[in-house]
Amino acid sequence: MSKGARAGLVMVAFAAAIGIILFGVFGYLRSSPPVVSAVPSATQPNTVNVTMQVDGAVGVGPHPTWVGYWIQGANGQYKQTTLLKVPVNTYVHVKLYEYDSGGPLRNPYWGKEIGTAGNVIVVNGQPVSLVNSYAGNGVAHNFDVPGLGVNVALPGVNGNAKNFCNVGPCNPSEAHNLIQFTFYSGKTVHNYRWQCFIPCGLGYLTGNGGPMQSLGYMAGFVQVVK
Amino acid sequence: MAIDMSQSTGVGQSGGAGGSSAARWFARGNIFTATLFGAGGWFFGHWWGNVIAGHYTSVQNSGTNDVSWLLGAIFAVVAWFIGLGALNHPIAKLWGGEAPMAEKKQKYSIMEYFSYSTDHKVVGIQYLFAMLMYFFVAGLLALGIRTELLSPTYHIWGPDTYIEIVGEHGTMMMMMMTSIIMGPFGNFLVPLMIGSKRMAFPRLEAASFWFTVPAFFFLLSALWQGGFQSGWTGYAPLSIQGGVGQDAYLFSFTLMALSMLAASTNMVATIINYRAPGMRWSRLSVLTWGMITTAFTMILSVPVLIDGLYVMGMDRAVQTSMLYGQHGGSPFLWENLFWFFGHPEVYLLALPGFAITTEILPVFARKPVFALKTSIAGMIGVATLSFFVWQHHLFNSGMNPDMRPLFMLSTELISIPTGFLYLVGMGTVWRGRLRFNVPMLFMLAVFFNFLWGGITGVYNSDVPVDALIHGSFFVMAHFHFTIMGQLMFAVFGAIYYYTPLFFGIKLSEKLGKIHFWTMFVAFNSTFLPLFIVGWLGQPRRVFEYAARLQTLNQWVSISAYVLGLSLAFFVVTFIWQLVVTRPKSEPNPWDSRGLEWQVGIPVPKDNFDRIPVILSSPYEYGNPNAGPMADLSPTVASVGSDA
Amino acid sequence: MALKTSEESGSPAAIARKHGSRIVAIWFILSLIIDLVVWFVWGPHMPPGDMTTTAAGQQFDFKVLTVMSVPVLLMVWVYGAYVIINFRDRGDHADGYYVKGNRKSQGLWYAATAVLVLFLAGFGTYELVVPAGAGVGEGPSPIWKPASTAHMLQVQVIAQQWRFTYRWPQFGGMETTSLVLPVNTEIQFNVTSLDVIHDFWAYQLGVKADANPEDNNVAYTKTQQTGRFVVRCDELCGIWHGAMYNYGNVVSQNAFYQWATNMEAQNASLTKLLPKYSTVYVPNDNVAGGQYFNG
């Protein structure tokens, strides 16, 4: 092989290597679930409304059996995501449709509603400040944002309900609890992580693998922005 | 000494052009047939695993099947080796035949570097490129980590992706470092240094290399299977909790462990049995001493890792519950098994670095190795003590508090033999005539860098101070100084030093010096501030940290980019000179006395026409009465007089 | 400093004395200056401060080790710089001075490193045993305890993926997410985990102990100053390991009792739901409330 041909070959190889690296970074590693932005209306500058649902099984994508959150976008469509963007210094009114059955918490402490307005949540019209996960329908999931001091325990629906939803996004004709609460987004611009405490990563040791450790299922960020 | 003087009758030499070596390359097996077979094995194993375990409760709930993943991987690797032609010889033996090894050649076609070669010089070069591939891919992942840490709050990667990158970087580096000296330099140089035409177990040697290839790809594949959250240490129960990416971790680590066992078995047998007449233990080169102590350490520690990974695999796939509680298991079991391997391991990364530094230093100091026996005693001392220090990783674990003073003592004792490296190095340069060629610069940098690593190692071993710095960036900076600062600088020095022998080319001194100085400055600028970062309270493997540490972290990240650019500069200049410009080297460009430099460039296919007779030590620089190290064409009489 | 003549004359011993005395002089003066600076100027400001006895102990040990490391570092640097300047190839491609060992310098080296290492091991052991384990987790049955355990505050640290909570057996077994401690008080931390291995690292308190599932890990300290401290998880525990931290405060004893009794009353209904206080917990996923998903 001539020197020129060898030089060409080397340059092609370098270009290919750079191409593979760029593809790996931007095509795969940088991918993340979509972000849903909550925007205040003109009449009420310091409040936003967010509608979410949490499903027993998202039913779609690479892990259809995993539990997961959906957040309603501006056009009313649910997106399977756990990334929520809200403005600073804002009261976030959350309306959450909970379609999953419940169970016991590994630490019953997290049955307490903390950091919401009045330290209560409203479940199907009834105020609730503490859920005993060892009784009744237990706790289905948590919406726990440590950085904002928020822990919301979401009571589960009856495990023997007839019309369970198994493929998300679910619709209100299926068994669910309607849960409403308000939390304050604080004064600091920050990405606040949130998680769940119910061992809902079924099939994983202590129920904390799989969806519990994956963005877009049971782990996410509340992005507080200017 | 019982040396077979007529090695030309040994395995592989008698076959000539007969047997499988006559077949075309595609029939003998190579990387393409192996990949094809491996893919088939994967699909078969995967299917079978689904048949067996598809109905397990854990599989149905989680939607992931560890049994089918592991079976797929096992079948893939077995089929990979069949595709490489690794089983041709044993099967022929079973049928009563004799399939000789392919004959060695003076010059190989490119294709032969992609096949199951039993020529130790080919295996050395295969290893060199494979291990550099590991190093650079894992290095890119490190830049990914540093990019995330530019900001304490803004996230480039998702937190799950970040942990995957951290674990992938650590595991890939730790797997590679075990073999980056023994693989390329041990395999290529040991027969040349001991005056042998071949290795004791060339097929084992070939196997040791070909385990590292699937290990790399399986490990990398974890990234697109959800990764593993547990880092390279794989602490249970976190490692039991993870998804199939964790199977990729344990499986590829197992493959690497098998590779280490194969390579070290071959190394021990070769060094003990294949020394030329007159190659007394006192005349053995320091690199060879380093290889045999490292190989013994591997043989004794690596099986513990394989056991541990097997237990982890069983716990994950069929819930044997040995590494987590409630059914009799204990997470302490993994911590002990892992570090019982892991601590000898980090020393068996350091030993070859010491060895190659002590090997190259006298050539450029123009003096004998100072206190040669002390340097060997130091290596043996480090290797021995390394089995008695593992619990210093567990000072905070709550395990055996009454044993802490003992492990503190044993850990601090190991700094005595480690300090011998400095005694030997400082004695060797005393009143020398130092030549500052590129390899020498790297060797001097080894002493500078390792000093930071060694001294901060004493901080880590002191239990009260360890309470402050355990699990922080301080520890991380410590082992990057001992491993990258010592071993990788030794490796790059060795690459500059041995390219004439490996490829017949001499790399440019000017480009080499640019590479050295940028790498040396950027390396220290990257890792020295990390001691402070850890001391000020930043734990390892975090993606959020205190805002007051941002300036330091940004400094480190930018230095890391410069370090990355310096290494990229090496890659480009190295490949360019190797493939395009090919600056030809004279036969012994460094005026070395070492036997490996006396055979000429390129190295003859059988290394030596006749087995040489060794007459003196390889390090007699400055001795006016020193004759040559060996008689390369001995007569019967000269053999008799010395052997 | 560089030698004028290219060839040295005299016996090897005389040459060694000449070079050696210069190296030793430079080394000694530099070491002395830097060590004094480390001890008196830098030392009092070293992390992690002295909010507790164990933090102060770690600061003291770090200072001692640094004072001992400086001469070792300088020995190699001064020697290395001297050698690089003086013993380089002078363009004649000659070989160096032929010597393969020196009994005296080797013996001195072995003795010096052995003495240094044995001193460090003895010092470390003393500093571990006397301050009751130096703030390190000592497992379920600690062997090094504070002299007086009469007025010790018990704090249980419960780690789980991915938050710490704290239980207070002396305050009705209540549980909190915040960690408030009284000043001038002996404290016993009982650290445990509900799932994987975590590590309780209260940085300014000088306390570090792994949180192991189904195991208790005890660490002692004594607060001596008020202030804010950070608690971080220090063993990799999964996706949110990097975000598993919170802040605590050491406050006056009165303020602490006010806070604690207040929290106890506030959390009374919640405390009833908690399992009975114990050093370890085995969460049960199969109780009333049942399966959380039966699809």
Q: What is the mean pLDDT of residues B232-252?
A: 93
Give a yes or no: residue C286 inside a domain: no
Measure Cα distances from C206 to B256, B327, B465, C134, C142 in Å: 39, 35, 10, 8, 17
Query: Which of A10, A190, A201 is nearest residue B575 as measured by Cβ atoms?
Result: A10
Q: Please report the residues numbered 204 through 223 in chain A whose beta carbons come closer than 8 angstroms to any beta carbon of chain C.
A: 205-208, 212-214, 219
Cβ of B396 and C210 within 8 Å? yes
Distance (Å, whole) CA B455 – CA B620: 32
> What residue in C sits closest to A162 (Cα-Cα)?
C295
Average pLDDT, stretch B387-393?
93
CB B241 to CB A208 under 8 A? yes
- Binned at pLDDT 50, 70 and 90, residue C286 comes out as low
Alpha-carbon distance B66 to nearest alpha carbon in chain A (angstroms) = 11
Q: Looking at residue B634, what is its pLDDT?
A: 84
A vs C, Cβ pairs < 8 A, gives 118
Q: What is the pLDDT of residues B460-480, one digit of tens each?
A: 999 999 999 999 999 999 999
HSE, side-chain direction, 13 A CA sphere, residue B509: 9
Asked if residue B557 lies in contact with residue B146, where contact means CB atoms within 8 angstroms, the answer is yes
**Is the CB of C85 inside 8 Å of chain B's CB atoms?**
no
Pairwise CB contact (< 8 Å): A203 & B61: yes
Of B58, B140, B165, the CB nearest to A203: B58
Q: What is the pLDDT of residues C145-191, one digit of tens each?
A: 998 877 899 999 999 999 999 999 999 999 999 999 999 999 999 99
Q: Could you read off the pLDDT of B150-207 as tens digits, one per residue?
A: 999 888 998 999 999 999 999 999 999 999 999 999 999 999 999 999 999 999 999 9
Mean residue pLDDT across chain C: 90
How close is the nearest chain A Cα to the Cα of C270, in Å? 7
pLDDT above 90 as % of chain C: 79
Distance CA B242, CA B237 (A): 9
Taking the Cβ of residue A142 and every Cβ of chain C, the question of whether any pair is shorter than 8 Å is answered with: no
- CB pair distance less than 8 Å for C128 and B408: yes
Measure A30 CA to nearest chain C CA, in Å: 16
pLDDT above 60: residue A183: yes
DSSP B316-360: HHH---SSSTTTT--HHHHHHHHHHHHHHHHHHHHHHHHHHHHHH
Residues C223, C184 share a domain:
yes
**Predicted confidence band at C292 (pLDDT cuts at 50, 70, 90)?**
very low
Lowest mean pLDDT among A160-169, B225-234, C13-22: A160-169
Computed on alpha carbons and rounded to an integer, the radius of gyration of chain B in Å comes to 25
Burial degree of C243 (CB within 10 A; 0-12, 13-18, 19+): buried
Query: What residues form DSSP beta bridges with A222?
Result: A84, A192
Contact A201 B165 (CB under 8 A): no
Q: What is the pLDDT of residues B565-597, one digit of tens each?
A: 999 999 999 999 999 999 999 999 999 999 999
CB atoms within 10 A of CB A189: 13
Give B243-267 pLDDT, tens digit per residue.
999 999 999 999 999 999 999 999 9
Matching residue, tokens 């008080």: C185
- How many separate domains does chain C show? 2
Min Cα separation C232/chain A (Å)? 13
Position B425: which residue type? Answer: G
Give the residue, C291 or C199, on which the prediction is more confident.
C199
Q: Are A138 and C273 an interchain contact pair (Cβ–Cβ within 8 Å)?
A: no
A215 DSSP assignment? B
Check residue B633 and give left, alpha or beta (phi > 0: left; psi -120 to 50: alpha): beta
pLDDT (0 to 100) of residue B484: 95
DSSP 8-state class, residue B131: H
Residues 6+ apart with CB under 8 A from B108: B117, B119, B122
Q: Taking residues B409-436, report their average pLDDT.
A: 93
What pLDDT, in 10s, does the model give residues C245-285?
A: 999 999 999 999 999 999 999 999 999 999 999 999 988 76
Whether B4 shows a pLDDT value over 60: the answer reads: no
User: Is pLDDT at B26 greater than 60 in this prediction?
Assistant: no
Cβ–Cβ contact B623 with C under 8 A: yes
The answer to whether residues B355 and B379 touch, using CB atoms and an 8 Å cutoff, is yes
Q: Which amino acid is present at B371?
A: A
The answer as to whether C137 is a domain residue is: no
What is the distance in angstroms between the Cα of C206 and the nearest Cα belonging to chain A?
A: 24
Residues B390-411 have a mean pLDDT of 92
Alpha-carbon distances, residue A166 vs A60, A64, A100, B363 (angstroms) = 10, 9, 9, 72
* Cα dihedral B529→B530→B536→B540 (10° resolution): 170
Identify the pLDDT of residue C27: 96
Question: Across the strands, what pairs with B613?
Answer: B631
Length of chain B: 643
Nearest to B395 by CA among B408, B413, B409, B414: B408
Q: Where are the domains of chain B?
A: 118-597
Query: Which of B283, B397, B538, B544 has the highest number of chain C CBs within 10 A, making it the mutation to test binding with C?
Result: B397
User: Chain C window 158-177: which residues touch B at a Cβ cutoff of 8 Å?
Assistant: none
Q: What is the CATH number of domain B118-597?
A: 1.20.210.10
Residue B101 predicted with pLDDT over 80 = no
Opening angle at CA A211, ends A205 and A217, nearest 5: 160
**Is 60 exceeded by the pLDDT of residue A31?**
yes
Please say if the pLDDT value at position B20 is more than 80: no
- B635 part of contact set with chain A, CB < 8 Å: no
- How far is C138 from B396, CA to CA, in rounded Å? 7
How does the average pLDDT of chain A come out, rounded? Answer: 91
In which domain, by residue range, is C193 found? Answer: 153-273
ipTM for the predicted complex: 0.93
Please state the separation of Cα B500 from the chain's center in Å: 22
**CA-nearest residue of chain A to B323?**
A205
Domain A35-225 has CATH 2.60.40.420: yes
Domain ranges of chain A: 1-31, 35-225
Mean pLDDT of B8-29: 47
Q: C-chain residues within 8 Å CB-CB of A202? A: 293
Do the bridges between strand A47-55 and strand A91-98 make them parallel or antiparallel, or are there none, so unpaired? Answer: parallel
Q: Are residues C57 and C160 in the same domain?
A: no
Whether residue B1 is predicted with pLDDT greater than 70 in this model: the reply is no
- Is the same domain home to C235 and C179? yes
